[in-house]
Amino acid sequence: MLTYRILGPIEVQAEGEPVEINGTFQRTLLAALLVNHDRLVLTDSLIGELWEHNPPRNAENALQAHISRLRRRLRSVDPDETAPRFLSMPSGYRLCLNDDTFDADIFTHALLDVRANTALSPYEMITKLRDALTLWRGPTFGGNLGGFICQAAAVRYKEYRAAALERLFEAELKIGRHNEIVAELSELVESESLNERLCQQLMVALYRGGRQRDALAAYQRMRNRLMDELGVEPSPVLQKCQMAILAHDPALQPRPVPAHTNS
């Protein structure tokens, strides 16, 4: 059984030991097949992913050679695997995870579970989301890798991570942990510079901690970034939050939540 990791530098592990996948072509090919695992990836799409607008002569043969090399490499570190890992079809290739694990799947399933399970308490939601977010070791694939397939996947997983963070801090605020999350939120707002939802959550956390001036300063920094980078004002939601802070709106304070139990 293998473990694939793309939420950070792309990695493969066999029984907890790292498996070296040599060469940019091999890593890009693996990444493109992983993010579409259990689905057919067309040959032309994979050729474009590896070589963009400059494919070699006999590109289909070159792609097939890379598939064979990757298949042999994975087989060499997991010789007991009986089910086929790669399926070759006339129009493309398919990677089958079988019993292998994939960090991006674990993460997205956790997020979808939190979204779907409305009976979860804020405490349970926090535990599930924090566990899932520990899977992230850096930017997807470790940064720029591949062509359209990999880049589109990187954008998608970044959006999933942002959604998980927003839900996490919503739950943290709901149970009154505003002081505990200020440092974490401040760092995220700086790195995720145009995420207005995280900025709003930071403003509320600061305000609840008696730091109205800092909350308004966070709003102003976000406004400056939006104006500088996009030429737009903050969203009506963020502007409303600023006005609520200025007015000391009681609605900004947390509502009582039942104490957490282990039952």
Q: Are residues 97 and 7 in the same domain?
A: yes
When pLDDT is cut at 50, 70 and 90, the band that residue 263 belongs to is very low
- Asked whether residue 162 is domain-assigned, the answer is no
- Asked whether residue 216 is domain-assigned, the answer is yes
> Domain with 223 in it: what CATH number?
1.25.40.10
205-232 pLDDT, tens digit per residue, is 999 999 999 999 999 999 999 999 999 9
Mean pLDDT of 239-244: 97
Domain hosting 258: range is: 177-263
| Residue 29 exposed, middle or buried by CB count within 10 Å (0-12, 13-18, 19+) | buried
| Alpha-carbon Rg for the chain in angstroms | 23
The number of folded domains in the chain is 2
d(CA 77, CA 81): 10
Mean pLDDT of 50-79: 91
Alpha-helical regions (H) of the chain: 24-34, 43-51, 59-77, 103-116, 122-133, 148-174, 178-191, 196-208, 212-229, 236-246
- Asked whether residue 41 is domain-assigned, the answer is yes
- Asked whether residue 215 is domain-assigned, the answer is yes
| Residue 145 exposed, middle or buried by CB count within 10 Å (0-12, 13-18, 19+) | buried
**191 pLDDT more than 80:** yes
**260 pLDDT more than 70:** no
pTM: 0.89
- Asked whether residue 20 is domain-assigned, the answer is yes
- Asked whether residue 119 is domain-assigned, the answer is no
By the 8 A CB rule, do 149 and 45 touch? yes
Q: Which two tokens stand for residue 25?
A: 């072509």
End position of a domain, from candidates 101, 128, 144? 101
End position of a domain, from candidates 101, 133, 157? 101
Average pLDDT, the chain: 92
Q: How many angstroms from the chain centroid is the CA of residue 180? A: 23
When pLDDT is cut at 50, 70 and 90, the band that residue 201 belongs to is very high
Mean pLDDT of 162-189: 95
**Residues forming beta bridges with residue 18, ordered by sequence position:** 13
% the chain with pLDDT above 70: 97
End position of a domain, from candidates 52, 71, 101? 101
- Asked whether residue 115 is domain-assigned, the answer is no
- Asked whether residue 15 is domain-assigned, the answer is yes
> Domain with 53 in it: what CATH number?
1.10.10.10
**12 pLDDT more than 90:** yes
